[in-house]
Amino acid sequence: MLEAFARRPEPGLRLTLVSPAPHSTYSGMVPGVIGGAYALRAAQIDVARLAARAGAAFVAGSVAALDVAAGSVLLADGARLAYDLASFDVGSRPRPLPATAGDAPLVALKPMDAAAAAIDAALAARPRARALVVGAGAAGAEIAFALAARGAAVTCCDHAAAPVGALGAATARRVARAFAAARIAWVGGAEVAAVARDGVQLADGRTLPAELVVNATGPGGPKLFAAAGLAVDGDGFLLVDDHLRAADRRELFAAGDCATLAAQPDAPRSGVQAVRQGPLLAANLRAALRGAATQPYRAQRRALALLNTADRRAILSYPPLAHHGRAAWWLKDAIDRRFVARFDA
C-alpha cells in the first residue's frame, strides 16, 4: 500500500504510518535468520524510509486502543492520533498455551524479531538445548528445521496426526521425511495441558521435556478490535467485507492476518494474501477519499508455498504437488531477497 502511494501520491491526503520500529521483519525469512542463513537486517524492510518515499509521516509506536466514536487511536505512549480513514495491518498474536508457569522457557513466535532474538539468546546460553516446537503448520515446521540446524535436539508436536496438514498430504509426507532426516522427533495427536519450567505436559499424561519451548500454534485475533466494540469473528479477527472495509465502520479498513473476510471466511491466512491485498487496499483508500466505488478482493484459494528445511534445500508445495530439493531453496531465496529489496531500496 505504501509502495502504491510512493509511486502515485494522492492529492489532499495526509498519510501517517504507525509501526513499532523503523524496520519491519519479513516473516518469510525469519526461519532463515534463526537457522543462521541470514543476518536479521537482511530480512528487514526500512519502513520509515518507505513511508518517507510515500510522503507519509512515520510514528514509532503501537496502537493501544481504538476510539471509533472519536475517530482516533491511542498509542502505547499516551499520544492520540485522529483519522478520517484508518487502515490496520497489525497481524495476529500467538494463541496462548494453557497453564503456562511463570518460569517456563517459552518463546512466542510473534513478534518475530523479538522471537528470533530470544531464541538466539537461549541457544547461545545452551547450544544443545532440548527444544520443543508446539504447532506444526508451515511456520512451526520451518522453525523446527532452523533449530535443528543450530544444533538443538528438537521435538515438534501438534494436535493433528501429521505436520502441515493444510498444505496437503504430499507436502505432509515430505515434511515428515525431512523431520526424520534432520532427527526432529514428531509427536502427533498432542494436546498441551500445561507448560512448566522443564517442558510440556500433554493431556494424555505424557511429558515432553524441553529447555526451550516455541509457541507456533497459529494465529489469534488482536485484542484491539473487540475491545473497541467492532464486529469480530470467533477468534477475534476484524470482520471485513470483500472491499477490505470493516463490516460495521465504513471508515476503517484492514488487511492481512488481523482481518477475516466475512464472505470468504475460509480464505487462508498467508503472506501471499496480505501482499495481494496491498495494491487493492491502496486503490480502495483512494476511492473512499474521493467518494468513488471501491473494488472487491477475491482470495487466492491455492498458492505456492516454499518451506525452508535449513539444509540449503526447501520443500516446494503447490497442492497436490510437492517437491524437496535444492532448486526449491534457490527459488525461495531469490523470491525472498527480491521481495525485501523491492521495498528496502
> Is the domain of 106 the same as that of 214?
yes
Q: Measured between alpha carbons, how far is 98 from 26 in angstroms, rounded to an integer? A: 28
Name the one residue in this structure whose C-alpha cell is 523446527. 144
**What average pLDDT does this structure show over 199-209?**
96
Tell me whether residue 164 is in a domain. Answer: yes
Beta-bridged to residue 94, according to DSSP, are: 219
pLDDT tens track for 70-89:
999 999 999 999 999 999 99
Q: Answer whether residue 152 shows pLDDT above 90.
A: yes
> Is the domain of 77 the same as that of 99?
no
Q: Answer whether residue 301 shows pLDDT above 80.
A: no
68 φ, ψ to 5°?
-70, -30
> Is the domain of 89 the same as that of 140?
no
Predicted pLDDT of residue 94: 82
Q: Measured between alpha carbons, how far is 314 from 333 in angstroms, rounded to an integer? A: 9
Q: What's the mean pLDDT when you consider all of the chain?
A: 94
**What average pLDDT does this structure show over 115-141?**
95
Q: Measured between alpha carbons, how far is 333 from 151 in angstroms, rounded to an integer? A: 22
Q: Answer whether residue 113 shows pLDDT above 90.
A: no
Q: Measured between alpha carbons, how far is 214 from 140 in angstroms, rounded to an integer? A: 8
Tell me whether residue 325 is in a domain. Answer: yes
> Is the domain of 104 the same as that of 207?
yes
Cα–Cα distance list, 46 to 42, 50, 115, 249, 258 (Å): 11, 6, 19, 31, 22
Predicted pLDDT of residue 183: 98
In a 13 Å sphere around the CA of 215, the CA atoms on its Cβ side amount to: 19
> Is the domain of 111 the same as that of 161?
yes
Tell me whether residue 295 is in a domain. Answer: no
- The number of distinct structural domains making up the chain is 2
Tell me whether residue 296 is in a domain. Answer: no
305 φ, ψ to 5°?
-125, 140
Residue 6 host element (H or E): helix 2-7
Predicted pLDDT of residue 266: 81
- No. of helices (H) and no. of strands (E), the chain: 9, 25
Tell me whether residue 27 is in a domain. Answer: yes
Q: Are 246 and 239 in contact (CB under 8 A)?
A: yes
Predicted pLDDT of residue 97: 93
> Is the domain of 214 the same as that of 224?
no
Name the one residue in this structure whose C-alpha cell is 496480505. 274
Report the candidate in 68, 82, 73 with the shortest Cα–Cα distance to residue 246. 68
Q: Answer whether residue 219 shows pLDDT above 80.
A: yes
Q: Measured between alpha carbons, how far is 339 from 345 in angstroms, rounded to an integer? A: 11
> Is the domain of 207 the same as that of 129?
yes
Cα–Cα distance list, 236 to 18, 88, 92, 227, 233 (Å): 21, 14, 9, 10, 5
260 falls in which pLDDT band (50, 70, 90)? very high
> Is the domain of 145 the same as that of 211?
yes
Q: pLDDT over 70 for what percent of the chain?
A: 100
Please report, for the domain that includes residue 134, its CATH number: 3.50.50.60
Predicted pLDDT of residue 24: 93
100 φψ region: left (φ > 0), alpha (ψ -120 to 50), beta (else): beta
Tell me whether residue 134 is in a domain. Answer: yes
Q: Measured between alpha carbons, how far is 26 from 339 in angstroms, rounded to an integer? A: 9
Q: Are 304 and 328 in contact (CB under 8 A)?
A: no
pLDDT tens track for 249-259:
999 999 999 99
**What average pLDDT does this structure show over 219-239?**
93
Pairing of strands 93-94, 63-67: unpaired
Tell me whether residue 298 is in a domain. Answer: no
> Is the domain of 286 the same as that of 319?
no
Cβ-Cβ contacts under 8 Å for 78 (sequence gap 6 or more):
none
Q: What is the pTM of this model?
A: 0.92
Predicted pLDDT of residue 99: 93
**What average pLDDT does this structure show over 43-55?**
95
Q: Are 240 and 262 in contact (CB under 8 A)?
A: yes
> Is the domain of 128 the same as that of 272?
no
- 324 is in which domain, residue-wise? 95-218+304-343
Cβ-Cβ contacts under 8 Å for 37 (sequence gap 6 or more):
308, 310
* Chain Cα centroid distance, residue 10: 29
Q: Measured between alpha carbons, how far is 115 from 240 in angstroms, rounded to an integer? A: 29
> Is the domain of 103 the same as that of 244?
no
> Is the domain of 247 the same as that of 318?
no
93 falls in which pLDDT band (50, 70, 90)? confident
Q: Answer whether residue 146 shows pLDDT above 90.
A: yes
